Amino acid sequence: MSSVAACKSSSLEDVLSDSELSPARRLRRAASIELKALFRLAGPAIVAYLLNNVVSTSTQIFCGHLGNLQLAAASLANGGIQLFAFGVLLGMASAVETLCGQAYGAEKPELLGLYAQRSAVLLTATGVLITILYLFSKPILTLLGESPEIASAAALFVYGLIPQIFAYAANFPIQKFLQAQSIVAPSAYISLAAFGLHLVLSWLAIYRLGWGLLGGSLVLSFSWWAITSAQFVYIVMSPRCRETWTGFSPQAFCKLGRFAKTSAASAVMLCLDVWYYQSLVLVAGLLQNSEIALASLAICTTISGWVFTVSMGFNAAASVRVSNELGAGHPQSASFAVWTVTLLSLAIAMVFAVVVMASRHVISYAFTGGTTVATAVSELSPFLAVTILLNGIQPVLCGVAVGCGWQAFVAYVNVGCYYVVGLPLGCILGFKFEQGVKVINY
């Protein structure tokens, strides 16, 4: 039986449908099967996501040890400008997650490579438009009220991230293509190797050669291209992708309008989520003592991002499990997978929240030596712990929605929660009642 055909058989569905088993035994057996499947998918995915996140975080740390201005600039560039590209492109690529996952479950392997190529074409075209935004990042940041000093430094960092845009455009469809086939371990190994290379090159460019912020962002772009190139080589060379990757096809340029519509719905879903945090960074830059506000917010959002990355691993696992099972016609298995992955991710988030509270007085020193920033981070930690708990659930449920193709529904929910309630309330409390960055973010 081929790997695609093997996806069709589901011992989980058999167990859930076995009326001869008692409910307790049925639950134990089903949980054992599902947990093994989830950890097999989520484990390597979490490692890959964490390493990719740490690649960006390490650049922020390197720049942070140059001074508070450099930390604020790198944070603003990463959280205020680069996150825009990340949200748009990753959101558009989540259409591949839905389509490839369901095609794989329905035993239509030839469609996976075609969907990935169409997505890469659309994302590259979108990347050209985003490049224009990057080139005008300094006047945009100044127009939004950031100080000229921070805006200039952040713009310098952003210029070095332009090649990263097109690495994203190629990497995200490749990543979803592999995940739909439950191929996740190679990405983890590739990310580990890229992380080691990134640390060496960052130290060399920022400190040894003295290239500062620009050197850090150029190395970050190079590292993402290294990850993307290695993943593509794996697809071309691996026998595991023989049925799903048959080479480049001119059909990738056909039916782009229909595919763009699906991608746009996916992009809106994620962008409304990602841009919310981007808006928080921009708003924090308007507070009094903006350097301290941005630096402390950057540290907290980075820590939250690490935990969020773990949840994103379960997001990927949930999306693959749900889309594969729905494509194979196994609704009970899809439903059981939703409950299992949600409870598991929440339990892990609770552990992280406890760790954050226990280390709240010292955790900031990994990023900067400033005692003022350390005090601000300590005050934000209780709010950070609550955010971590919520982030243990939200990404997983988004993964379920992607697996089902419900991106538009998630977009409506995000608009209401983030932009109708969260952001206006945070701004009122932060500015009018002078509660500072803690209420703006949390």
Give which of 81, 176, 97, 166 is closest to 126, Cα–Cα.
166
**pTM to 2 decimals?**
0.75
Per-residue model confidence (pLDDT) at position 278: 65
Per-residue model confidence (pLDDT) at position 8: 39
Q: What is the pLDDT of residues 163-214, one digit of tens each?
A: 999 999 999 999 999 988 889 899 999 999 999 999 999 999 999 898 989 9
Q: Which residues of the chain have pLDDT under 70?
A: 1-10, 274, 278, 402-403, 407, 433-434, 436, 438-442
Give which of 222, 90, 216 is closest to 158, Cα–Cα.
216
Phi-psi region of 436 (alpha: psi -120 to 50; beta: other; left: phi over 0): left
Q: Say if CB 367 and CB 64 are below 8 A apart.
A: yes
Per-residue model confidence (pLDDT) at position 107: 83
DSSP 254: S
Rounded to 5 degrees, what are φ and ψ at 109? -65, -30
- Provide the angle, in degrees to the nearest 10, between the axes of the packed helices 212-237 and 148-159: 30
User: Alpha helices of 18-144 — where are they, by DSSP H?
Assistant: 23-64, 68-76, 83-105, 110-135, 137-143
Per-residue model confidence (pLDDT) at position 403: 67
The whole-angstrom separation of Cα 323 and Cα 439 is: 37
The whole-angstrom separation of Cα 166 and Cα 161 is: 10
Q: What is the pLDDT of residues 202-256, one digit of tens each?
A: 999 999 898 989 999 999 999 999 999 999 999 999 999 999 998 888 888 887 8
